[in-house]
Each structure stands twice: as C-alpha cells, then as structure tokens.
Structure 1
Amino acid sequence: MLKAGFDEYYTKNVELYSKKKVKKSVNLNLLNRLNGYKDQVLAFMYDFDIPFDNNLAERDLRMAKVKQKVSGTFRSYTGANAFTRIRRYVSTVRKRGKNTLDCIESVFTANPIDPTLA
C-alpha cells in the first residue's frame, strides 16, 4: 500500500525531485514516516489490547461534545456538572478495568466502589 503511495507521488513529482535541493513535501514526509514505523503504526491490528488511537483526553471529551451537539447545550450549570461527574466516574472505572455496571450499581448501595483504589 505504501509502495503505491510512493509510486504515485514520485510519478507526479518526478520533475520537481530531479533537481538537487528541493524541500520534501508534507505528503512525502508522511509516507516516509509511515514506512519507517510500519510495525508501530499497525500494532493495534495484531494486539487487540492496543487502542486504535491513544488520545484518552479526546475520547473523554467526545461524549460531552456529542451531548452538547445533540441537545444544543446544557440547560443549567447543575446539569452540566452532574453530566461531567457521571462521565468522569464511568471513564475512570473503564480505565481501571472494572465492570462499569457493577460500579454504577454500587453507588446506590451502602458500600460504593471507589475506582481510584487498586
């Protein structure tokens, strides 16, 4: 697949790269980087414990932005605060590898599960 990208890129820009000192384009730099780090870039395909992306902060914010987009906005500061507290709890539970439903149910019992404890 990368070979096809290199072939297509170089055939389109053969005249440009025939000169001695030409700055590499963003596209060529990306192709070179993907080629050099192929095993690391595609590791998620072979080891299913590795997430497709590693941006936990983005994933944590995504649900709040979707909620905001669907309903327009939060009706009150209290509602927004409650939403973020619940999402923060669920996110922590998932990151700690605990059962989400069990932890949420435990909140309504006498002994709630604290996901921050090991």
Structure 2
Amino acid sequence: MRRVHDLILPFDNNPAERTIRIAKLRIKVSGSRRTLLGAHDFAAIRTYLAATDRHGQNMPDVLGQAMRSRPWTPAA
C-alpha cells in the first residue's frame, strides 16, 4: 500500500493502459497482426515513443534521430 503513504503516486494505471490502447485498437480495426515479428516491431516502436513522450521529448525529432542511427536514451 505504497500509495497510502506516498501521495505523489497516481491512483490509477492510466499511463500503462494508454500505452497498450493503440495496439488493442489496431487489432480491433484490422482484425489481427500479419506476423509475430510485425507485432514485436510495433510494440517496440510504441514503447520507445511512449518513453520519449513521458520524458518530454519531441516524438518526430526522436524518430528522426533513431532513423539516423542516433537513438535517444533517457538521462541516467
């Protein structure tokens, strides 16, 4: 019951739920994924973008850097 003592923690799980919502929506719209590899790639990209968004990074800039082999990593 860490939430009882630490009032900074959110009382819901919305950030995690928002992260997987687009994947579930994509399954509903298209019916399924074509391949398991495609599903893994989609999940990796969405996870990366969710992390950059949580750290206040500009997602199009971060994607451009990743495509130029200079991926963003969070500060230690």
Please tell me the TM-score bracket, short chain as reference: 0.7 to 0.9
- Residue 82 of structure 1 is matched in structure 2 by 41
Q: Out of 68, 80, 95, which is 2:27 matched to?
A: 68
Letter of the 2:33 counterpart: F
* RMSD, aligned CA: 1.6
Question: Alpha-carbon deviations, 1:52-105, whole Å to 9, x = none?
Answer: x76111101100000101110111100000000000011000000011111000
Structure number with greater Rg is: 1
Query: Which segments of structure 1 move beyond 2 Å, counting only runs of 4 or more?
Result: none
Take 1:117 and 1:97, find their aligned partners in 2: how far apart are those partners? 12
Structure 2: gaps spanning 5 or more residues = 1-11
- TM (norm. structure 2) is 0.77
Question: Alpha-carbon deviations, 1:7-60, whole Å to 9, x = none?
Answer: xxxxxxxxxxxxxxxxxxxxxxxxxxxxxxxxxxxxxxxxxxxxxx76111101
Structure 1: gaps spanning 5 or more residues = 1-52
Aligned residues: 65
- TM (norm. structure 1) is 0.51
% identity of equivalent residues: 38
- Residue 16 of structure 2 is matched in structure 1 by 57
Q: Does residue 68 of structure 2 align to residue 109 of structure 1?
A: yes
